[in-house]
């Protein structure tokens, strides 16, 4: 699972990722990345188990 743009030339803003509220278990690779803004990942607050390689990466604009 990849959340956010890899490279978008500074044009993409990821403000809210609704729709993930019901996820309880994530298995695999979770990578959250943004080239500008990643403002709200509150929808992941209900995750009870993350069995993954977690990578949070922000690329400065």
The answer to whether the beta carbons of residues 5 and 35 sit under 8 Å apart is yes
The answer to whether the beta carbons of residues 41 and 18 sit under 8 Å apart is no
Least confident range from 1-10, 14-23, 45-54: namely: 1-10
As a whole number, mean pLDDT of residues 42-61 equals 68
Please provide the average confidence, as pLDDT, over all residues in the chain. 68
What is the distance between the terminal CA atoms of the chain, rounded to a whole angstrom? 23
Query: What is the reported pTM?
Result: 0.43
- Three-state helix/strand/coil letters over the chain: CEECCCCCCCCCCEEECCCCCCCCEEEEEEEEEECCCEEECHHHCCCCEEEEEEEEEECCC
**Neighbouring C-beta atoms of residue 34, cutoff 10 Å:** 21
């Amino acid at each position: 699972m990849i959340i956010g743009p890899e490279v978008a030339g500074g044009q993409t803003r990821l403000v809210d990722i609704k729709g993930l509220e019901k996820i309880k278990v994530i298995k695999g690779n979770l990578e959250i990345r943004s080239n500008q803004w990643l403002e709200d990942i509150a929808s992941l607050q209900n995750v009870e188990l993350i069995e993954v390689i977690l990578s949070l990466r922000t690329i400065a604009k």
